[in-house]
């Protein structure tokens, strides 16, 4: 990947320092960018969704706080949860704030290309792609032609437009629930086209939810440390269109916690609430292999 960037440190009023990234011809780059380590316990936030979906707040600003580096990598390369290999543990554990400004009015994919350049420059990222056969899960219907009570079709484009206006482009992960206009599910004020970890009914429970997403997107999101699913998930349900969903479960704990809230584990909740289950398989997968990555210097 050719980056072609020149970085110049500029000190601003108040003592903050940002990196000015000079854009080489034909190489997308942010005009101004700042990267800072974040060790707080604040909720992660972003100006727009960092997943592989197309939900986007137009403009030339990128702003995300307290996100693990893995979130920026997945955003930059438009990846779902299972397409990165050979990552050190700190990529998942250490969080960063990234604020950047682009020239013009770029698309989300152009923003992704700029983030690739920024990661190469500041984190010394080097990657290559491979196709490998790996353990996987097929996501299938428990009963043919029947979905669960917490998975509902959503075809309301008007509600999607208004939700972006109401949140101002923010991607909330908590807050009061509200009924989705079409499906009637109680959901936090998520933007259409997004999936996220959200507040559950009890502090020791897990919950994810999405608004107007495909089942393929849901399948791609299921592999992460939060759910406990450890391999790529492929949509084999045959379901088309977009859906609202909410999935809540009681995480398994080692050793078992007798004081934790009772309730179904993840796999049982997936079946009872969404009408879906995971079936073990193997599948070829395009993976992004990390050849080199290192912690950045503070701005």
What are 238-253's pLDDT values in tens digits?
999 999 999 999 998 6
Q: How far apart are CA 82 and CA 52, in angstroms?
A: 12
Inter-residue contact 33 to 121 (CB < 8 Å): no
Q: Which two tokens stand for residue 45?
A: 């936030």
Q: Which two tokens stand for residue 103?
A: 């020239």
Neighbours of 102 (CB within 10 A): 20
- In whole angstroms, how far apart are CA 49 and each of 26, 122, 210, 249? 26, 22, 12, 24
Inter-residue contact 193 to 49 (CB < 8 Å): yes
Say what the pLDDT of residue 158 is: 64
Query: Residue 286 above 50 pLDDT?
Result: yes
Query: Residue 202 above 60 pLDDT?
Result: yes
Predicted confidence band at 72 (pLDDT cuts at 50, 70, 90)? very high
Say what the pLDDT of residue 216 is: 95
Predicted confidence band at 12 (pLDDT cuts at 50, 70, 90)? very low
Predicted confidence band at 87 (pLDDT cuts at 50, 70, 90)? confident
Query: Residue 189 above 90 pLDDT?
Result: no
The pLDDT of 162-185, averaged and rounded, is: 50
Say what the pLDDT of residue 255 is: 59
Say what the pLDDT of residue 157 is: 66
The pLDDT of 27-53, averaged and rounded, is: 89
Query: Residue 269 above 50 pLDDT?
Result: yes
- The DSSP secondary structure of the chain, one letter per residue, reads ----EEEEEEEPTTS-EEEEEEEPTT----SEEEEEEE-S-PPPEESS--SSS-----SSEEEEEEEEHHHHHHHHHT--TT-EES--THHHH-EEEEEEE-SS---HHHHHHHHHHHHHHHS--EEEEEEEEEEEEEEEESBTTB--TTEEE---HHHHHHHHHHHTT---SSS--EE-TTT--EE-SPPTTEEEE---SSTTSEEEEEEEE-HHHHHHHHBBTTTTB-SEEEE-S---S-EEEEEEE----SS--TTSPP---HHHHHHHHHSEEEEEEEEEEEEEEEEE--PPPP-
Say what the pLDDT of residue 254 is: 64
User: Tokens 């580096």 appear where?
Assistant: 69
Higher pLDDT, 58 or 164: 58
In terms of DSSP bridges, do strands 194-197 and 206-213 run parallel, antiparallel, or are they unpaired?
antiparallel
The pLDDT of 268-288, averaged and rounded, is: 94
Say what the pLDDT of residue 86 is: 75
Say what the pLDDT of residue 113 is: 96
The pLDDT of 140-153, averaged and rounded, is: 96
Predicted confidence band at 79 (pLDDT cuts at 50, 70, 90)? confident
Q: 139: closest CA among 198, 192, 79, 80? A: 80
Q: How far apart are CA 36 and CA 99, in angstroms?
A: 9
Query: Residue 259 above 80 pLDDT?
Result: no
Higher pLDDT, 112 or 258: 112
Q: What is the pLDDT of residues 117-129, one digit of tens each?
A: 999 999 999 999 8
């Amino acid at each position: 990947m050719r980056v072609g960037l020149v970085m110049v440190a500029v000190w601003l009023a108040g003592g903050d320092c940002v990196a000015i990234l000079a854009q080489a011809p034909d190489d997308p780059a942010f005009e101004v960018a700042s990267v800072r380590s974040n060790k707080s316990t604040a909720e992660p936030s972003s100006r727009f969704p960092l997943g592989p979906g197309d939900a986007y707040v137009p403009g030339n600003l990128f702003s995300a706080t307290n996100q693990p580096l893995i979130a920026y990598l997945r955003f930059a390369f438009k990846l779902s949860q299972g397409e990165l290999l050979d990552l050190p543990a700190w990529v998942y554990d250490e969080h960063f704030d990234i604020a950047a400004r682009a020239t013009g009015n770029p698309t989300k994919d152009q923003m992704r290309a700029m983030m690739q350049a920024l990661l190469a420059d500041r984190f010394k990222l080097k990657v290559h792609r491979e196709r490998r056969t790996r353990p996987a899960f097929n996501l299938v219907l428990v009963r043919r032609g029947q979905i669960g009570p917490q998975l509902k079709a959503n075809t309301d484009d008007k509600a999607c437009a208004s939700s972006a206006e109401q949140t101002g482009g923010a991607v909330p992960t908590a807050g009061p629930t509200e009924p989705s206009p079409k499906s009637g599910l109680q959901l936090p004020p998520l933007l259409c086209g997004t999936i996220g970890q959200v507040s559950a009914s009890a502090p020791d429970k897990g919950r994810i939810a999405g608004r107007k997403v495909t089942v393929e997107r849901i399948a791609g999101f299921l592999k992460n440390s939060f759910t406990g699913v450890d391999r790529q998930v492929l949509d084999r349900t045959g379901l088309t269109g977009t859906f609202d969903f909410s999935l809540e479960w009681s995480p398994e704990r080692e050793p078992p916690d007798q004081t934790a809230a009772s309730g179904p584990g993840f796999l049982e909740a997936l079946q009872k609430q969404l009408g879906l289950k995971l079936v073990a398989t193997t599948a070829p997968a395009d993976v992004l292999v990390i050849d080199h990555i290192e912690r950045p210097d503070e701005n």
